[in-house]
């Protein structure tokens, strides 16, 4: 069976402002590891998929940066959207493109975020093996759930029926998904952890192409109709304008809301590889190496008697004395200072800049 990877790289990463901007969003920025987020994702996936089976979906605005960062990826494996409409249309576009390029209509594919942090690659690849096998045998939507290690409020959750496995795939249990839950408050996250039947939602989904098409027709019929029309416009001279017109006619909706929360054939592989969706500066502080005072210090920084801080300099000397629980980020153009635990509100700064048309800092 043919397996494809679809990497969704169209987000703006606004919670990582000022390092993540419209011209260079989070996925194209170095956060952890050797390369940028998207480079690290590609390196991880090409150890599992043939590189010609790895496709990227991103914005037209990022044509040059994605080609610069992924020179090993053929132009034909990069799918451009006119503008973001969330993960459902990005996936629908990619599937139509795969079929247009001659992919076997019975092929399987996995959808991956472009900016997640994953270690323990062996466990990750083993989970993919199980998920692909389950998607093939059960003709279902298969997601990978991560066993939670703490009551995390910044991740989505999946409730699974652990007591009654749906199937056994080569000695590994696959479970029914009961509910999907968005980021909970602290009390709810603690109850999720204590219940034992909630897993973190990794955002990785595995399907057969017919399974996806049936789900689209059942739960997002307007998408199914409009994206089927793409077959007649791929390759025509005004393709870009035609695709832009299509995108203007559809609503923005995620795969979770649009399909998974409605479908009855969603199953889950429980896994334990180290994973983070890297949603904000607080999460980056959590996963990074720290000094004896629990500080993460990057770049030209003088730190005296500081505790529990994240300090990131981009060429400008930053000196701090006697501070606790701060996030300080210098991008060269702007400086962010906020309390640890408040970095979710960085989105509010970006919204303020947009409302007031201060675009030179976006």
Handedness of CA 311, 112, 263, 87 (dihedral sign): positive
- Pick the more confident residue, 169 or 317: 317
The answer, yes or no, to whether the previous bond of 293 is cis (omega within 30 of 0) is no
Helix 87-100, helix 221-228: angle, nearest 10 = 40
Residue 1: is its pLDDT beyond 80? no
Going by pLDDT thresholds of 50, 70 and 90, the confidence category of residue 19 is very high
Q: Which two tokens stand for residue 222?
A: 């307007």
Contact 344, 334 (CB under 8 A): no
Q: In whole angstroms, give the CA distance from residue 118 to residue 145.
A: 13
- The reported pLDDT for the residue numbered 105 is 95
Structural domains of the chain ordered from first start: 3-279 (3.90.550.10), 282-361 (no CATH)
Going by pLDDT thresholds of 50, 70 and 90, the confidence category of residue 303 is very high
Contact 260, 126 (CB under 8 A): no
- The reported pLDDT for the residue numbered 230 is 85
Q: In whole angstroms, give the CA distance from residue 50 to residue 67.
A: 19
Residue 11: is its pLDDT beyond 90? no
Long-range contacts: 19-27, Cβ < 8 Å, 24+? 19/312, 19/314, 19/329, 19/331, 21/331, 21/361, 21/362, 22/61, 22/362, 23/61, 23/65, 24/65, 25/62, 26/115, 26/278, 27/114, 27/115
Count other C-beta atoms under 10 Å from residue 151's C-beta: 15
Phi, psi angles (nearest 5°) of residue 111? -100, 130
Residue 220: is its pLDDT beyond 80? yes
Q: In whole angstroms, give the CA distance from residue 61 to residue 80.
A: 9
Count other C-beta atoms under 10 Å from residue 21's C-beta: 21
pLDDT for 171-219, tens place per residue? 888 999 999 998 899 999 999 999 989 999 999 999 999 999 999 999 9
Long-range contacts: 128-131, Cβ < 8 Å, 24+? 128/48, 128/206, 129/170, 130/169, 130/170, 130/172, 130/174, 130/269, 131/204, 131/206, 131/269
- The reported pLDDT for the residue numbered 315 is 86
| Residue 76 burial (C-beta neighbours within 10 Å; 0-12, 13-18, 19+) | exposed
- The reported pLDDT for the residue numbered 235 is 79
Q: What percent of the chain shows pLDDT beyond 90?
A: 85
Q: Model's pTM, two decimal places?
A: 0.94
Averaged pLDDT of the chain: 94
Average the pLDDT over each of 38-47, 65-74, 180-189, 203-212 and give the range with the smallest value: 180-189
Q: Where are the alpha helices (DSSP H) in the chain?
A: 37-45, 63-69, 87-100, 121-138, 186-195, 209-219, 221-228, 239-248, 255, 281-287, 346-355
Helix 221-228, helix 209-219: angle, nearest 10 = 120
- The reported pLDDT for the residue numbered 13 is 86
Q: What is the DSSP letter of 248?
A: H
Residue 93's nearest CA partner among 81, 103, 78 is 81
Over the range 196-234, which residues count as b (16 or more CB within 10 Å of their CB) and which as e?
eebbbbbbbbbbbbebbbbbbeebbeebbebbeebeeee
**Measured between alpha carbons, how far apart are the two ends of the chain, in Å?**
44
| Residue 179 burial (C-beta neighbours within 10 Å; 0-12, 13-18, 19+) | exposed
- The reported pLDDT for the residue numbered 305 is 97
User: What SS3 class is residue 44?
Assistant: helix
Q: Which two tokens stand for residue 195?
A: 């219940």
Going by pLDDT thresholds of 50, 70 and 90, the confidence category of residue 164 is confident
Section 64-93 average pLDDT: 95
Q: What percent of the chain shows pLDDT beyond 70?
A: 100
pLDDT for 129-151, tens place per residue? 999 999 999 999 999 999 999 99
């Amino acid at each position: 069976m043919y397996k494809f990877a679809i990497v969704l790289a169209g987000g703006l990463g606004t919670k990582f402002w000022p390092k993540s901007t419209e011209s260079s969003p989070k996925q194209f920025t170095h956060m952890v590891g050797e390369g940028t987020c998207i480079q690290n994702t590609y390196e991880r996936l090409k150890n599992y998929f043939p590189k010609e089976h790895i496709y990227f979906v991103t914005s037209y605005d990022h044509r040059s940066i994605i080609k610069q960062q992924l020179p090993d990826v053929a132009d034909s494996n990069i799918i451009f959207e006119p503008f973001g409409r969330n993960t459902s249309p990005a996936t629908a576009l990619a599937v139509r493109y795969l079929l247009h390029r001659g992919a076997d209509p019975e092929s399987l594919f996995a959808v991956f975020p472009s900016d997640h942090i994953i270690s323990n690659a062996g466990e990750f690849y083993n989970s993919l093996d199980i998920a692909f096998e389950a998607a093939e045998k059960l003709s279902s939507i298969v997601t990978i759930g991560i066993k939670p290690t703490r009551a995390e409020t910044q991740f989505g959750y999946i409730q699974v029926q652990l007591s009654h496995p749906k199937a056994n795939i080569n000695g590994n249990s696959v479970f029914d998904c009961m509910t999907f839950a968005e980021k909970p408050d602290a009390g709810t996250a603690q109850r999720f952890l204590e219940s034992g039947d909630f897993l973190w939602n990794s955002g990785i989904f595995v399907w057969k192409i017919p399974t996806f098409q049936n789900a689209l027709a059942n739960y997002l019929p307007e998408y199914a109709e409009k994206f089927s029309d793409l077959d007649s416009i791929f390759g025509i001279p005004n393709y870009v304008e035609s695709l832009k017109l299509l995108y203007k006619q559809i609503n923005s909706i995620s795969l979770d809301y649009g399909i998974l929360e409605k479908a009855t054939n969603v199953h889950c592989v429980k896994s334990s590889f180290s994973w983070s969706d890297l949603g904000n500066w607080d999460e980056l502080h959590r996963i990074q190496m720290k000094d004896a005072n629990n500080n993460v210090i990057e770049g030209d920084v003088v730190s005296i008697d500081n505790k529990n801080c994240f300090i990131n300099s981009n060429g400008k000397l930053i000196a701090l004395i006697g501070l606790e629980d701060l996030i300080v980020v210098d991008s060269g153009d702007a400086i962010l200072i906020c309390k640890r635990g408040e970095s979710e509100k960085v989105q509010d700064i970006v919204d303020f800049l947009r409302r007031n048309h201060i675009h030179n800092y976006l």
